[in-house]
Structure 1
Amino acid sequence: MVPSTFDPGPAVSGLDRKVVLDFFRLARGWWHGATARRAWFLTAALVCLLIISVAVNFLVNAWNRRFFDALEASDATTASWEVLHFGGLVVCAAAVGVCIVLARETLQVRWREWLIGRLLDRWIGQQRYYRMRLDHTEPANPEYRIADDTRMATEPIVDFAIGLVLSLVSALTFVGVLWFVGGALTVHVGETTLTLPGYMVLAAIVYGVSASLLMLWIGRLLPNEMARRNEAEAKLRFELTRLRENSESVALIRGEDDERRALSVTYAELVARALRVVRRNGQITWLMNGSSVFVPVLPLLLAAPKYLAGDFTLGQVTQLAGAFIQVQLAIAWLVDNYRAIAQCYASILRVTELTRAIDNVDSDLEARHAGGIILAPSSSGAVRFDELTIADRSGRVLIDRADARIEPGEKVMISGESGTGKSTLVRALAGLWPWGTGIIALPEGASIAFVPERAYLPAGSLRAALLYPAQSAAVDDPILTEALVKAGLGYLADRLGDVDHWDQLLSNGERQRLALARLLVQQPDLVILDSATTALDEAAEVEMLERLIAALHGATLISVGLRPSLETLHDRKLVLARGANGASLSSVALRRVSETQ
């Protein structure tokens, strides 16, 4: 494993408004279309429950005044009744709280479900997951962005929305308490008398706005630091997963020390980034902790002069203190939630980077289709290369103006020296290689199967691996068993229903045999093998290819990169020969074994 180099890049100050807007343009789709009814029902239910919750808090605030006034007046009867009333308020508050939790978490789960589905459709659709890697435009760890960052982006947003609604309704409700119960404060300065109407409201606004502005200034770099820490976390997880998946190869070559050094480098960078977040959190904690201690005391200090002057009762002081805290929480909501906002923004940024990369791939693909390699239907059923030029990403020509025609049912081998573009030609045939010009015509309406050197086996049962990518197809077990026997895997026939890690359990040769067994089941019209039997010994390779050709008698076969000894199984070969301006393509006739018998 080669240690990764982390580029710290420039620090970003504050939140990028465009990032947030781009995310919400994507995520708001849950409230439209087929999911709109559920989304709006959950949203409306949650808002109603929040309003009821504020109403219960207001009743508790009013109860405080009545109860403490009863205590101050030594009115045991009223105090006893208020204790009973308080029991009812507790039950109401608990019931509303349970309903809020159910509505909130259901909304979070359903919204994330929709968002992940949307991202998966865009990432997997039109093979963008492959094209981004091919273009080197894929953001790091897209799977982490889809699986984890969607959760860390959507769940806090719901919580923030709840907090904002509560703050708004609470502010409107309890500002009235501060204004009417708190009244005005009269201050004597020398011979001048100053009257401050609604002084408790004014104090709450001044303190809340000041604390919020100070928080924005202190924590302006935290979102960027959190995004960079999350990136390092994802990279460490990826490298650990990669080591586990390649554990046998690493163990065989005794690469543990090198792997440990590489992981140490990655983790050291993670620690450095995490410590930067720790320092930012420390700065924010100064303000948050100081505010949490000061806010409960501040209304008592403000009410003390009027209480000592006999203008307030003890019940009024406790009522004002509770109302002040509620208003303060509403105004200074940012102070208490800035760290969570920064974490949420870091995940929003990573999701947005993925969606932008997908958009860029789509734009590039449209531009290339306008002037790149054209995939066209062939009504005759033949495979044609018309003036086909294939280049690499830098524009260097690999294959120069190739013309060829492969008739239906013909067996053709493509050979040439390493680096002449054989595998790139296969990618172009699959529509995955956009760089170049000319036309590739493929049989119209034909079923086409590409078999790469490294066979992919999905997670699940052996049956699913054998039917992939048509796992839901209804195929009888005897057909699957026959395909396994012909592919030399008859000993696996009684394990069709077994679920296992087949990509790790089977050897390279067995995986290739399983991929060829798929062809025997699916019976495609056109088969393109890209070094698909290289893990087999020469005798097994000949036997396997003979069985495949016999079973797919009428199918067109294009074999790339096979051993020269297999030429006799083909009608002819197309040879890529290196030239000054790229490889040229020429045709050489062969005599198939079946023709000589």
Structure 2
Amino acid sequence: MHTLRNFWRIAKPFWTSEEKYPALLLLVATVAMTLGLVGVNILNNFWNLHFYNALQEKDYHGFLIGGLQFILLQIGTATFTVAAFHFQQKLTLRWRRWATHNMLEQWLGQQRYQKLKLTENEVDNPDQRIAEDIDLFIVKSLKLSLGVLTSVVSLFSFLHILWQASSLVSVPFAGDSFVIPGLLVWIALLYALAGTGLAFWLGRALPRLNFVQQRREADFRFALMRLRENADSVALYQGEAVENQRFHQRLEAALENFWALVKKQKLIMGYSTFYLRSATVIPMFIMAPQFFAGAFPLGRLTQISAAFGEVHAAIAYLVEVFPELAAWKSVVDRLIGFQERLDNVEVKSGVEARQQRDGLAIHDLDIWLPGGRRLLEGFNLSLAPGDSLLISAPSGSGKSTLIRAITGLWPHAQGTASYDREQALTLSQKPYLPLGSLREALWYPKPPQADADGAVRQAMQQVGLQHLTEQLDQQHDWAQTLSVGEQQRCAFVRALLTRPAVLFLDESSSALDAANEARCYQLLKQHLPDSILISVGHNASLERFHWQVLELHDPANWSQRQVAPVV
């Protein structure tokens, strides 16, 4: 029941959204086609009766009619199968599109993707949960639910045939014989329940093994992706042997769990194969004495055997799909875990964000680490348009954390921060260049302006990227194509194009030589005279581009001093 509650918690948003009416129509159509298949199976059961009776009686005319009926039944089966598949896939497509967009909005909303990384129990591989687990959840949920529906309808449809057939079986006792009402039904029920119970016991470890397998496979893929993203660094360190060892460790962990999963699946497969196939001969052995005594014809025996198989298969459905059921449960567990982390992550910063058109003001700002250690206490700051501030402190003192707290990205803080948030931009040490054209990367996160091609080329030339001006509309993974220094200069182009009112520079020139660093800062001072610049850096050479220097000493001790900047 816990898994079913989690399933409904994940599925409910879609089935109560604006998509519910077209989705319900597709679901009704899928169910109708599935029930049509059950109807064809019922007709096929009666076909067994008449066709095999015709064979036994050597009725050639009845045989030909049976052959024609068989062709029509197969056409009906094919039609309903294709139609059910069509509507089910359309529903899957619509559901996956909505569910993926919905989870992406939650993940990206209020910058949860970033805040999840700051928590102690960060979610593993959110990309897999969004891209793969949602698809598996929908596909398996529809398949299993339609399978249950088919089994229930088949069970009640064939129970009547099997109950009536039980009257043909007489049980000898004490020199007499008597009929047990519904004997074949009770035998099918007991056989299925015993088999299902044993299958659940044998496969009780499958959900956990499937959960672990998905996680370890995702970890292995993530390690491969990390090498591709950091190929230059690994090559410079000549760390291939270490990386290969890590790959082997993660691969072996996945394969070890995979083999444990295979061993359990072999046990279930062997048991279920014997169990399901043995059910087809049970009614024949039960009814053999009456059949050989001439109590009923071959067609009746065939019909009863087929009906017994349908009833047994309907009851034993869970045995047949137990491995899929285990995989489905693991997917539900992974998605509900991700959903709970999205719901519970602390998205609001303790710093009160206030919109202020001119200037920047920080009041009573306290910052601490997740473990409780204080980084800053009672911090105050006031800057007017055109002011520039350099934050200087040893590594680990909280310089970058101060920027994150002011911009609302650090949840472990309190105080107030007032500035024009709608016209603010942060340049980080490792610039983000999205997939797409270089032009789109330079304007990110804003869309490129069609009439600003001249401004783009001029800014690129000013920062020393003139060799890239002819590649503005080329599609590349620019984060892998450009050096870190080139990427940082692209970020300065971004600032020159978007002209923010407040610009945070978090060691954004760390990969530049002194000449290029000076050139980029001079461009900012020249083209953004009214912008507030707040820089984080270690180089003393940066002081000459700022009006003030903020030095952090300890949580309650900091100092500001004026400098004479270069104009």
TM-score (norm 2): 0.96
Q: Note closer, same or farther for the CA distance 1:299–1:479 as it changes in structure 2 (3 Å cut).
A: farther
Q: Choose from 369, 389, 395 the match for 2:366.
A: 389
Extract unaligned runs of 5+ from structure 1.
1-16
Aligned to 1:375: 353
For 1:281-430, what aligned pairs fall within 5 Å after superposition?
A: 281-361=265-345, 364-365=346-347, 372-378=350-356, 381-430=358-407
Taking only aligned residues, the RMSD between alpha carbons, in angstroms, comes to 1.7
3-state SS of 2:121 partner: coil
Aligned counterpart, 2:510: 534
Counterpart of 1:41, as a letter, is: L
Partners of 1:454 and 1:383 in 2: CA distance: 25
Aligned mates of 1:86, 1:446 — CA distance in 2: 71
Q: How many angstroms apart in 1 are the aligned matches of 2:422 and 2:146?
A: 55
SS at match of 1:401: strand
Match of 2:529 in 1: 553
Structure 1 45/282 Cα, relative in aligned 2: closer, same or farther at 3 Å? same
- Distance apart, 1:294 and its partner CA: 0.2
Q: Counterparts of 2:521 and 2:343 in 1: how far apart (Å)?
A: 42
Q: Deviations over 1:446-467 (max 9, x none)?
A: 4100110000000111111111
* Number of residue pairs matched by the alignment: 567
How much has 1:285 moved relative to structure 2? Answer: 2.1
Distance 2:156 2:264 in 1: 33
Aligned mate of 1:93, from 77, 86, 92: 77
Q: Which residue of 2 aligns with 1:459?
A: 435
Give 1:508's match in structure 2, choosing from 452, 476, 484: 484
Q: Which residue of 2 aligns with 1:479?
A: 455
**Match in the other structure for 2:199:** 215
User: Structure 1 residues 175 and 475 mapped into 2: Cα distance closer, same or farther (>3 Å)?
Assistant: farther
Distance 2:351 2:452 in 1: 40
* In 1: Cα distance, 2:461 partner to 2:419 partner: 31
Q: 2: distance between equivalents of 1:473 and 1:67?
A: 75
- Distance in 2 (CA, whole Å) between partners of 1:172 and 1:101 is 24
Alignment CA distance shift 1:256-1:294 (3 Å): same
- 1:109 maps to which residue? 93
Q: What's the offset of the Cα at 1:41?
A: 0.9
Q: CA deviation at 1:536?
A: 0.7
CA separation of 1:475 and 1:447: change in aligned 2, threshold 3 A: farther
Q: What is the Cα deviation at residue 92 of structure 1?
A: 1.5
Amino acid at match of 1:455: P
Question: CA-to-partner distance for each residue in 1:505-529, whole Å, 9 max, x for gaps?
Answer: 0000100011111111111111010
Which of 108, 112, 130 is equivalent to 1:124? 108
The CA deviation string for residues 41-69 of structure 1, in whole angstroms up to 9 with x for no partner, is 11000111111111111111111111111
519-528 vs 284-293, which deviates more? Answer: 284-293
Matched to 1:536, the amino acid is L
User: Counterpart in 2 of 1:3?
Assistant: none
Cα distance 1:472–1:321, how it changes in 2: closer, same or farther (>3 A)?
farther
Q: Structure 1 pair 328/438, CA: closer, same or farther in 2 (3 Å)?
A: same
Deviation (angstroms), 1:130: 0.9
**2 CA distance for matches of 1:365 and 1:139?**
15
Decide whether the 8 Å contact of 1:137 with 1:357 is kept in 2.
no
Which residue pairs with 1:498 in the alignment?
474
Cα deviation, residue 26, structure 1:
2.3
**Does 2:58 match 1:69?**
no
- Please tell me the residue identity of whatever aligns with 1:384: A
CA distance in 2, matches of 1:96, 1:446: 56
Corresponding residue SS for 1:162: helix
Confirm or deny: 8 A CA contact 1:19 1:352 kept in the other structure: no
What is the CA distance between 1:174 and its match in structure 2? 1.0
Choose 244-253 or 424-433, whichever is displaced more.
Answer: 244-253
Q: Secondary structure at the match of 1:183?
A: helix
SS at 1:325 equivalent: helix
Q: What is the SS of the residue equivalent to 1:34?
A: coil
The separation in 1 between residues aligned to 2:9 and 2:457, in whole angstroms, is 50
Question: Aligned partners of 1:351, 1:195: CA distance in 2, in Å?
Answer: 53
1:296 alignment partner, SS class:
coil
Distance 1:406 1:323 in 2: 84
Deviation at 1:365, TM superposition (A): 4.1
For residues 187-202 of structure 1, the aligned pairs below 5 Å read 187-202=171-186
Alignment identity in percent?
32
CA distance, structure 2, for counterparts of residue 492 and residue 413 of structure 1: 31
1:437 aligns with 2:390: no
After the TM superposition, which segments of 4 or more aligned residues of structure 1 sit over 6 Å from their partners? none
Q: Which deviates the most, 512-521 or 405-414?
A: 405-414
TM-score w.r.t. the length of structure 1 is: 0.92
Query: 2:369·2:375 contact (CA, 8 Å) conserved in 1?
Result: yes
Amino acid at match of 1:589: Q
Between stretches 384-393 and 341-350, larger displacement belongs to 384-393
C-alpha deviation, 1:162, in angstroms: 1.4
1:475/1:396 Cα in 2 relative to 1: closer, same or farther (>3 Å)? farther
Deviation at 1:471, TM superposition (A): 3.0
Q: Please name the residue that 1:587 is paired with.
A: 560
Residues 179 and 201 in structure 1, CA contact (< 8 A), matched pair in contact too: yes
* Equivalent residues of 1:452, 1:530 under 8 A apart: yes
Which residue pairs with 1:12 in the alignment? Answer: none
Deviation at 1:583, TM superposition (A): 5.3
Indicate which of 235, 246, 257 corresponds to 2:230: 246
Deviation track 1:149-205 (CA, whole Å, cap 9, x = no partner) reads 112222111111111111111111111111224425221222454421122212111
Distance 1:327 1:482, change over 3 A: same
- 3-state SS, counterpart of residue 70 of structure 2: helix
Aligned to 2:241: 257
Letter in structure 2 aligned against 1:545: Y
**Which digits, 9 at most, give the CA deviation of each residue in 1:87-115, with x for residues without a partner?**
11211111111111111222222222222
Partners of 2:113 and 2:49 in 1: how far apart? Answer: 62
Q: Give secondary structure in 2 for the equivalent of 1:533.
A: coil
Q: CA deviation at 1:304?
A: 1.3
Partner SS, residue 470 of structure 1: coil
**1:522 is the counterpart of 2:495:** no
Q: For the Cα contact (< 8 Å) 1:227–1:347, is it kept in 2?
A: yes
Question: Is the Cα contact below 8 Å between 2:27 and 2:91 reproduced in 1?
Answer: yes
Residue 532 of structure 1 deviates from its aligned partner by 0.5
